[in-house]
Amino acid sequence: MFTEPIRDKEQLRAMADYWLNLQNYRNYLLIVLGVCTALRIGDLLKLRDEDVYDFESKKFRSHIIVVEQKTGKIKKIAISRQAKHALRLWFPHSRSGFLFENNRKKNPSPINRTQAWRIVKAAAIEAKVDGCIACHSLRKTFGYFAHSTGVMPGLIMDLYNHSSFEITKRYLGISQDDRDRVYLGVDFF
């Protein structure tokens, strides 16, 4: 079964707000940064404080620069307004140097993929999101909403570093309802 994007903005907001209302800013940041950066979960979990914050100038960076694990390609990602807001909430609490720190281990380390899945899954259940929702859903959600706002599919493919458009099409999670809106929404006469 394939993971699906979160297609409803209210449900996406509810997923993030679930952790925000519990004042669990690390988990809130995971949801927000996962969607806003479209990074694979392995790349997201390895982010360190200095990847998002310039300690010399004492301000958040404008971009995150990562070398993707899967492709080995360098990716430069602009940090959005929503992502900076989530970072500001979490940053005073970060202690290990990892954005998604595992506070149960003595040596500084990030949470693992299983814990990240639990965080996403708990928020999805709370927000009553249907379908197969997992960490990869955050990455797919970015593309789904970018596509629905008119971003060219070729640009989305480039942002994902996909080698073919067929892969990108699967990520976009286009449903029959989306197709129906196109057929019914275009006025010709």
Give the pLDDT of the chain (189 residues) as one tens digit per residue. Answer: 689 999 999 999 999 999 999 999 999 999 999 999 999 999 999 999 999 999 999 999 999 999 999 989 999 999 999 999 999 999 888 777 899 999 887 788 999 999 999 999 999 999 999 989 999 999 999 999 999 898 998 899 999 988 888 888 878 877 777 778 888 888 788
Rounded distance, CA 156 to CA 153, Å? Answer: 5
The number of residues in the chain equals 189
Task: Name the nearest CA neighbour of 86 among 26, 29, 19.
Answer: 29
The token duo for 188 is 């010709």
The token duo for 128 is 């009553």
pLDDT for the residue 108:
84
What does each C-alpha distance from 32 to 66, 84, 89, 100 come to in angstroms? 18, 10, 12, 12
pLDDT for the residue 177:
75
Tell me the domains of the chain and their CATH numbers.
Answer: 9-185 (1.10.443.10)
pLDDT for the residue 125:
97
CA dihedral 26, 44, 88, 149 (to 10 degrees): -110
pLDDT for the residue 1:
63
pLDDT for the residue 174:
73
DSSP 69-86: TTT--EEEEE--HHHHHH
